[in-house]
A and B are shown apart, each in its own frame.
Chain A
Amino acid sequence: MEKIINITLKVWRQKGPKEKGGFETHKLEGISGDTSFLEMLDILNEKLVNEGKEPVAFDNDCREGICGMCSLYINGHPHGPDNLITTCQLHMRHFKDGDTITVEPWRSAAFPVIRDLMVDRYAFDKIIQAGGYVSVNTGGIPDANAIPIPKPVADEAMDAASCIGCGACVAACKNGSAMLFVSAKVSQLALLPQGKPEAKQRAKAMVLKMDELGFGNCTNTRACELECPKGVSISNIARLNREFLVAKFSD
């Protein structure tokens, strides 16, 4: 049977990066349990537009959990109370009738609020630009299976590569640390032969950029891993530490 709920939303509203923000309360009635969280916000925005008010700004794109664009800190959890999903995959059936739902933007000094629930995650792109790539010379395309890679290694690289760069790790971390993100991006390349030649330089450059952008120091609380919508493991953080220390000690 379809579940229909009435909810109260407490949403963060902020006109711009420098403006002072605050919470706004809205009541929504007759929300179907099959509605996704973002569709629920669409309903709210439609209501606001009809009332002649400004709609709530929030990031979203693919709405199928693979682009990493949606964010939202819902009731104490990045991407809401359900595990291993992004906000767009969260459905209203996870809430009870009469619930008050608090919706906040990611909070971290390195992720300033742009407007309402949207934050500037450009810092992640800067970290990638610092070394999250493999340099390839132009020319003929090599055969995909020319370099044999053991299955467990390929699997681990793939697990690291499942990071969508949404920033939930930073949002969940009490230290505002980006270690899970950076470690996933370092690991996906460091594990594979193609990434090895630049491994040392990559680890050093990406950590340097991460520190420079004002992300915090990891204290191994595991909050990132527990909130990651893709289940990226902190074993990647251990690998990043290893890669970085080996690179620095071999200098």
Chain B
Amino acid sequence: MYWLFNSSIGRKFIMSISGIFLLLFLLFHMSMNLTLLLPDDGKVYDMICEFLGANWYAVAGTLVLAAGVVVHIVYATMLTLQNRKARGSDKYLSSNRTETEWSAKNMYVLGLIIVLGLVIHLWNFWYKMQFAELIGCPDAVTGGSGLVKELFSSPCYAIVYLIWLGAIWFHLTHGVWSAFQTLGLSGKIWYPRLKMISNIVSTLIVVGFAAIPVYFMAVHLLCGNN
């Protein structure tokens, strides 16, 4: 199994598997968020939050997820550094005019923006919920719907989250089909299909996530502070 770590395709295999794992998490998270749109004042959402909370399975899940994030970032950094070295220090004076997709060439930068957003996001929610509960803080929030409502009543935060989601969209449109290409599951016939699937899945995820800040910002702006 040593080849996984010391061959280019092995390292890329790690990137694609961790990427697909994170994609599955995003799908779950997005579905959970959508319950906030139910006309029940966030009851279902809070129920899911409480079910997860600081229970052992939620903590175990969080640790696995964090490991997935770390592996994805560590390998992205490693591959990017190796690639810069392979490119060499001499740059082209006439730049590179090959008409590749913008996202394909900026995956690492997009990833950095996503990490920044993630830090804000963890601070906004996870720190006040699971983390607070774990350290036994009496102020720990078990149902998150109040936090969501409060946060997105600030248009600034809503816009920051929307920009973050934009970066995620670009990252996913390249990342999803790219993962399948790396796993060798693409080809002449499947390449256009995977591209299409990739666009659809990324758009679904991002629109699903974006619905929440947009909805709460709109509710706040149109109906005042209720």
Q: Which of A104, A234, A248 contacts B10 (CB 8 A)?
A: A248
Asked if B65 is at the interface (CB within 8 A of a chain A CB), the reply is no
Let me know if A243 and B98 touch, CB within 8 A: no
Give the bracket for the number of chain B residues in contact with chain A: 35 or more
Once A107-B91, A207-B8, A226-B98 are accepted as A-B contacts, the answer to whether A241 and B184 lie under 8 Å apart by CB is yes
Let me know if B9 and A219 touch, CB within 8 A: no
How many A-B Cβ pairs are below 8 Å? 144
Q: Which of A81, A104, A218, A226 contacts B93 (CB 8 A)?
A: A104
Let me know if B96 and A241 touch, CB within 8 A: no
Let me know if B98 and A77 touch, CB within 8 A: yes
Let me know if A219 and B98 touch, CB within 8 A: no
Residues of chain B contacted by A108 (CB below 8 angstroms):
86-88
Let me know if B92 and A104 touch, CB within 8 A: yes
Residues of chain A contacted by B18 (CB below 8 angstroms):
none
Q: Which of B9, B82, B105, B188 contacts A241 (CB 8 A)?
A: B9
Q: Which of A102, A221, A239 has the most CB of B within 10 A?
A: A221
Asked if A126 is at the interface (CB within 8 A of a chain B CB), the reply is no
Residues of chain B contacted by A107 (CB below 8 angstroms):
87-88, 90-92
CB closest residue in chain B, given A241 = B184
Q: Mark A235-251, 1 if CB is under 8 A from B, else 0.
A: 10111111111101000
| Other contacts beyond A156-B188, A215-B8: 18, CB < 8 A | A76-B95, A76-B98, A102-B93, A104-B92, A107-B91, A109-B85, A174-B105, A177-B83, A177-B86, A216-B83, A219-B79, A219-B104, A221-B104, A221-B105, A227-B98, A240-B9, A242-B185, A248-B7
